[in-house]
Chains A and B, each alone.
Chain A
Amino acid sequence: MEYPQAVPLKYGINPEVCLKLTKDKCGTCEEVCPANAIDYTQTQETITLDAGAIIFSPGFKPFDPSKFDNYQYVNYPNVITSMEFERILSASGPTMGHVTTFPKLPAKPKKKKDKLLAKKRKSPKRIAWFQCVGSRDMNKCDNPYCSSVCCMYAVKEAVIAKEHAGGDLDCSIFFMDMRTPGKEFEKYYQNAKDKHGINFIRSKVHSVTEDLDTHDLQIRYVDELGQIVTEVYDMIVLSVGLEITPETKELADKLGIEMTANGFCKTDSFEPVATSRDGIYVSGVFNNPKDIPESVLDASAAASAAGDALSEVRDTMTKQVATIPETNVVGERPNIGVFICDCGSNIKGVVDCAHVTEYAKSLPYVTFADENMYACSQDAQDKMVEQIKEKKLNRIVLAACTPKTHEPLFQETLKNAGLNKYLFEMTNIRNHNSWVHKNNPELATQKAKDLVRMAVAKAALAEPLKEEKIDVNASVMVVGGGLAGLTAAKSLATQGYDTHIIEKKDQLGGEALKLFKTAQGEDVGEKVAELIGAIEANEKITVHTDTTLEKVEGFVGNFKSLLKTGDKTCELEHGVAVLATGAKSSEPTEYGFGQDDRIITALGLDKRLKENDTQLDAINSAVFIQCVGSRETDRPYCSRVCCTHSVDNAILLKTRKPSMDVFILYRDIRTYGERELLYKEARELGVIFIRYEVDKKPVVVIEKDKIKISLNDHVLNQPVTLETDLLTLAAAIVPRKDEKLANFFKVPLNDEGFFIEKHAKLGPAEFATAGVFVAGAGHYPKPVNEAITQGRAAASRAATLLSKKDNLFTSGTIANVNVEKCSTCGVCISICPYSAPRFITEGRFEGKADINAVLCKGCGLCVASCRSGALHLRGFDTNQIFSQIFALGEVV
């Protein structure tokens, strides 16, 4: 078993070292295993599966830096890989989350003294990270691509290391280009620099030597001024890249799918998860190096692609999951089980969890309390189910992280134990306690006890609740007719759902219509026209151009939107919505933009390339300026696409006219993944890259026959002046910032106006609002292939919901009326924003109030306003909230 959270959580035998298998000796494990689970005779089996489609996600392996003799990874114990450092930071890792150095051990430790050495670890004072180990390197390894994730993880590791070690740890990151083009990544990088005091040094370290006595690591590098610098560190972390294994390549060959020269899957920008072989789809790092959110998007997109292909046979092989019958606990005395989660060291590092667990046992109605290292891990969950059954627990309290992310998971555990999922109360001793009171362990422990006592008091009053079925209208509204929206619509329509596209302009295609070529060289205009053709030919899709959204009512499964086309309005009923409103290029306010027609934006150049403007051939010198309006104080994000776009266009100009001088003025070149090959190609073609600092921007002077650009050359460290006929500005990508639309669907926007998804890593194509999904540049700037992937991913998430249409239920935590007490005053009816309460019109209780369970959002407004005390909010009832207040008042 590699780590305690492995899935499945089962031990395996390593056949290479097992004495029984190698020498037919020992056999102890078979004797001691009480479950008789050991079977030495098991061998490899061949299983045949019939499948309609294959999704290939073989992943990667971290680069092995052993062959780099200059970093001495093999010989120096304190030169480690980033993956090893990740384990050091982990609470379940070898050092329990403490950052320590490793003592030097003799090659073959013999004496007891030598073995004891292994335990002698000290805290490092200085740690250095070396970037691009096994990436962007043709010299020592054959990986010319950028691994995309290492810059960000190095910054994260440095920040966490400082957090774990306290203030005096010195962290330095040695890098070539700092590549943080992901959503919110640039801000994280700037914070790491400004707030956490992490040093960023632009240099490639050429050698490491170890002091024989102290084991200090001495490094030598050339700084930006060309001086050789020698420094001493305690620990060096090699930021190793991502690599495709020979086994994966072999398997891919066997499957008959095409790969790039670097072993990644070859995909088209417009079908970014389809391999060269029909019916086989790809996701994850094998489909180019990528971070977690992009991998999750890839996975959803691959599911949608497979779903499209198999739409005809949908639901023909479905099997029903057996539901566990619910135990009736009504009228039983509460039998509360309390579970305290350590969350590794996240909680336990501050709160005395063992003490809180003991304390919980002393509380009224608590018959069982237990402490878990990670309550959310599969093994802890299985154990919880057993404990609930064995101790006949009928109310569960969990003191752990936030119910906002983890409540559903534990409610599922209750269901598996045959308990109604509302007999559960979660209290937050991590986000609201250990994380925010880390310097006050005693007060935090006291607070945890108070919170557990309050939760127990509330749980004692919990009742089993029923969920009502929701009818789902299986049609879709896609807002935005750009690439992402069109892709989502096409996929959902292919899977059989009626789809409506709302586009405010008079034609479909969005910003993609302005693009010339993708990074892979495909003609965007041609492909978009093809896609629009397919959309228009699809009978399931209705396109509403020149249309705006005026009003949205309802909730998941039952939205009603008011569309306005010209003077006409019409109402559209739909079950889900995909928001794909996109983003646009900003208008630069610097470098003389707008004063001269030789100064254009990247889209302006695309337009001229698209029109095959012959004037381009007359140009002798072209200059690109990067980060125009991006990565600055008032727009602190990276626009992600511009580096590749400019490099690509520079190549186009240079190949069009090789004698042309082409310059790219940049801050960091962020050609992530295999886009790096374009950067390499551009340099080989003679495109000149000059770096500038944000506080020393290039100065543009417009003259009659030339545009003059002056800046400091980073290699020569001398001012230079370039003369050019064409200045292309990589203008920032700005979101539409449509607050009206965000309000309609009650979805959030970030400071810059991009939509905030449900979860930055695990929910990148959906919103926290049920039934509403997000795709495209409205979420964050992204190139064609990523917009399409997210469009597909949103479609996949929407289809997941729509396909459950017979299994969708309301929440159980809604209001209900005690008709005996209702005085028919009507306050609840007038106050409810969702029109859930109404008067009963006939029968014994005519005139009394009643709640429509589907419309009720469980806000409790009516409950608070009811003068007769007739209304109750299930799960948050008045007596439950009072019980929490009273529990808080108890003197401990």
Chain B
Amino acid sequence: MADNDTKIVSFLCNWCSYGAADLAGVSRMEYPADIRVIRIPCTGRMSPKFILSAFREGADAVWVSG
């Protein structure tokens, strides 16, 4: 991850937010390219360890959505 740009790690639920991100694409909405999506089967899958790990790897923000 280059140092000079913002990186947001997002954990998106497969059933809602991941689909919503797909829909944002279908609707040709535009947003900054700082987001890297990790698809998870449900936000129930989220563990605090993933969030801490993402920060340790240099993420500026972590977004969990579901």
Q: Which residues of A are interface residues toward B (Cβ below 8 A)?
A: 163, 402-404, 428, 430-433, 435-440, 443-444, 446-447, 450-451, 454, 813, 857-861, 863-864, 873, 875-876, 878, 881-882, 884-886, 888-892
* 20 sampled A-B residue pairs with Cβ under 8 A: A404-B19, A428-B22, A430-B25, A431-B21, A431-B22, A431-B24, A431-B25, A435-B28, A436-B28, A436-B31, A438-B30, A446-B33, A447-B33, A454-B36, A859-B42, A860-B41, A860-B44, A864-B44, A864-B46, A890-B1
Contacts of B7 in A (CB 8 A): 888
Q: Tell me if A436 and B24 are in contact (CB < 8 A).
A: yes
Contact with B25, one of A432, A813, A858, A889 (Cβ below 8 angstroms)? A432
Q: Tell me if B22 and A876 are in contact (CB < 8 A).
A: no
Please name the residue on chain B nearest to A163 by beta carbon: B28
Shortest beta-carbon contacts, A-B, top 9? A889-B57, A860-B45, A431-B25, A861-B44, A859-B42, A435-B25, A443-B33, A431-B22, A437-B33
Contacts of A430 in B (CB 8 A): 25
Q: Tell me if A436 and B36 are in contact (CB < 8 A).
A: no
A-B contact sample (20 more), CB < 8 A, given A404-B19, A860-B44: A402-B25, A404-B18, A428-B22, A431-B25, A436-B31, A437-B31, A447-B33, A813-B41, A858-B42, A859-B45, A860-B42, A861-B45, A873-B45, A878-B49, A881-B45, A885-B57, A888-B59, A889-B1, A889-B56, A889-B57
- In whole Å, how far is B4's beta carbon from the nearest beta carbon of chain A? 12
Contacts of B31 in A (CB 8 A): 436-437
Q: Which residues of B are interface residues toward A (Cβ below 8 A)?
A: 1-2, 7, 9, 14, 18-19, 21-26, 28-31, 33, 35-42, 44-47, 49-50, 53-54, 56-59
Q: Tell me if A876 and B36 are in contact (CB < 8 A).
A: no
Looking at B22, B26, B40, which has the most chain A CB atoms within 10 Å of its CB? B22
Contacts of B44 in A (CB 8 A): 859-861, 864
Cα A439 to Cα B30 with chains together (Å): 9
Q: Tell me if A450 and B25 are in contact (CB < 8 A).
A: no
Q: Tell me if A440 and B33 are in contact (CB < 8 A).
A: yes
Cα A890 to Cα B36 with chains together (Å): 13
Q: Tell me if B45 and A876 are in contact (CB < 8 A).
A: yes
Contacts of B33 in A (CB 8 A): 433, 437, 440, 443-444, 446-447
Contact with B37, one of A163, A432, A446 (Cβ below 8 angstroms)? A432
Contacts of B38 in A (CB 8 A): 454, 881, 884-885
Contacts of A890 in B (CB 8 A): 1
Please name the residue on chain A nearest to B11 by beta carbon: A881
- Secondary structure of the A contact surface, majority rule: helix
- Secondary structure of the B contact surface, majority rule: mixed
Cα A431 to Cα B2 with chains together (Å): 24
Cα A882 to Cα B49 with chains together (Å): 9
Contacts of A437 in B (CB 8 A): 30-31, 33
Please name the residue on chain B nearest to A862 by beta carbon: B44
Cα A611 to Cα B25 with chains together (Å): 53
- In whole Å, how far is B63's beta carbon from the nearest beta carbon of chain A? 13
Q: Tell me if A881 and B37 are in contact (CB < 8 A).
A: no
Cα A891 to Cα B42 with chains together (Å): 29
Contacts of A439 in B (CB 8 A): 30
Contact with A881, one of B14, B28, B40 (Cβ below 8 angstroms)? B40
Contacts of B18 in A (CB 8 A): 402, 404
Please name the residue on chain B nearest to A431 by beta carbon: B25
Q: Tell me if A891 and B2 are in contact (CB < 8 A).
A: yes
Contact with B22, one of A432, A446, A875, A892 (Cβ below 8 angstroms)? A432
Cα A858 to Cα B45 with chains together (Å): 9
Cα A446 to Cα B33 with chains together (Å): 9
Contact with B36, one of A447, A864, A886 (Cβ below 8 angstroms)? A447
Cα A443 to Cα B34 with chains together (Å): 9
Looking at A428, A431, A444, which has the most chain B CB atoms within 10 Å of its CB? A431
Contacts of A886 in B (CB 8 A): 53, 57
Cα A279 to Cα B8 with chains together (Å): 60
Please name the residue on chain B nearest to A430 by beta carbon: B25
Q: Tell me if B36 and A450 are in contact (CB < 8 A).
A: yes
Contact with A435, one of B1, B14, B26, B47 (Cβ below 8 angstroms)? B26
Q: Tell me if A860 and B57 are in contact (CB < 8 A).
A: no
Cα A881 to Cα B10 with chains together (Å): 12
Q: Tell me if A885 and B50 are in contact (CB < 8 A).
A: yes
Cα A221 to Cα B24 with chains together (Å): 40
- In whole Å, how far is B48's beta carbon from the nearest beta carbon of chain A? 9
Cα A430 to Cα B21 with chains together (Å): 11
Contacts of B2 in A (CB 8 A): 891-892
- In whole Å, how far is A765's beta carbon from the nearest beta carbon of chain B? 20
Contact with B41, one of A859, A885, A891 (Cβ below 8 angstroms)? A859
Cα A444 to Cα B46 with chains together (Å): 27
Q: Tell me if B53 and A404 are in contact (CB < 8 A).
A: no
Q: Tell me if A436 and B30 are in contact (CB < 8 A).
A: yes
Cα A881 to Cα B19 with chains together (Å): 19
Q: Tell me if B41 and A889 are in contact (CB < 8 A).
A: no
Cα A451 to Cα B10 with chains together (Å): 12
Contacts of B35 in A (CB 8 A): 432
Cα A436 to Cα B35 with chains together (Å): 11
Cα A477 to Cα B15 with chains together (Å): 25
Contacts of B39 in A (CB 8 A): 403
Contacts of B36 in A (CB 8 A): 447, 450-451, 454, 888
- In whole Å, how far is B26's beta carbon from the nearest beta carbon of chain A? 7
- In whole Å, how far is A757's beta carbon from the nearest beta carbon of chain B? 14
Cα A435 to Cα B21 with chains together (Å): 11
Cα A891 to Cα B19 with chains together (Å): 29
Contacts of A443 in B (CB 8 A): 33
Contacts of A447 in B (CB 8 A): 33, 36
